């Protein structure tokens, strides 16, 4: 938005979003706490997700932006209930799982605006990739890398792969956690000897964009701020 404002001083955007994802999840934290704090604007909270109510509130509160997930975009794309509820929507973001170009196109047709994908983990403080609001991508990528972060794509031996080849995403940067609270073993397993965080996601880079294709490690990660209880 700041870049658009520099290009066009008359540009004006009023940020209003609808809280419908769990706030305990990193997607909810980013969508309803971090993004609104940066953009400046209200968050209208739903007690729980209800699709007809989601449509009703989007229209009632003139929602301009929201962060959601592929299953909800699928509902939007396929439901006959969707009419003019999103006429004030300017920008939509999807995350938590990859969303293919076919579903993206169907959902965009209903929303009347572009959907950009983002990718990240709790250990990367949310999004590690993001699409600038004045750019668009129709290929199904999870967008380019965020500023001030570094990404490598490596094989099982930790060697960098060639452009267009699949490998594990490993990262460094100020958004990457230093380790897991009170769990040295988990920290050791999650980082390379020279400090690169192993995300466990398998992907590929093409034309400056990143694509997720698989998951290397399965299972929940240790909470970064989990509290140690004596006797556990």
DSSP state, residue 154: E
CB-count exposure of residue 94 (10 Å: 0-12, 13-18, 19+): buried
Residue in 34, 27, 135, 38 with CA at minimum distance from that of residue 72: 27
Considering the entire predicted model, what is its pTM? 0.79
Rounded to a whole number of angstroms, the CA Rg of the chain reads: 19
Domains of the chain, with CATH numbers?
1-117 (3.40.50.980), 147-215 (2.30.38.10)
Low pLDDT (below 50) residues in the chain: 218-232
Give the span between the Cα atoms of 133 and 210, in whole angstroms: 17
Query: Quick one: pLDDT at residue 140?
Result: 82
CA distance 111 to 1: 20
How many whole angstroms separate alpha carbon 51 and alpha carbon 4?
A: 32
At residue 232, the pLDDT reads 38
Q: What is the pLDDT of residues 176-218, one digit of tens each?
A: 999 999 999 999 999 999 999 999 999 999 888 899 988 875 4
C-beta neighbour count of 75 within 10 angstroms: 17
121-138 per-residue burial string, b: 16 or more CB within 10 A, e: under 16: bbbbbbbbbbbebeeebe
């Amino acid at each position: 938005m700041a870049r658009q404002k520099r290009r066009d001083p008359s540009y004006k955007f009023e940020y209003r979003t609808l809280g419908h994802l769990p706030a305990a999840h990193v997607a909810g934290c980013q969508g309803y706490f971090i993004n609104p704090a940066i953009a400046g604007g209200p968050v209208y909270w739903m007690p729980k997700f209800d699709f007809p109510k989601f449509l009703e509130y989007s229209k009632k509160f003139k929602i301009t932006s929201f962060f959601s997930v592929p299953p909800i975009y699928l509902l939007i794309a396929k439901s006959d209930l969707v009419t003019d509820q999103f006429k004030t929507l300017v920008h939509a973001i999807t995350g938590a799982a990859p969303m293919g170009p076919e579903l993206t196109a169907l959902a965009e047709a209903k929303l009347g605006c572009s959907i950009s994908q983002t990718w990240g983990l709790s250990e990367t403080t949310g999004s590690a990739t993001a699409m600038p609001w004045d750019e668009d991508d129709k290929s199904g990528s999870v967008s380019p890398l965020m500023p001030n972060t570094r990404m490598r794509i490596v094989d099982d031996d930790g060697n960098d792969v060639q452009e267009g080849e699949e490998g594990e995403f490993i990262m460094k940067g100020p958004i990457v956690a230093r380790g897991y609270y009170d769990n040295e073993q988990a920290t050791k397993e999650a980082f390379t000897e020279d400090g690169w965080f192993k995300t466990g996601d398998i992907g590929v880079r093409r034309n400056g964009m990143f694509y997720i294709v698989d998951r290397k490690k399965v299972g929940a990660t240790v909470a970064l701020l989990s509290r140690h209880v004596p006797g556990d």
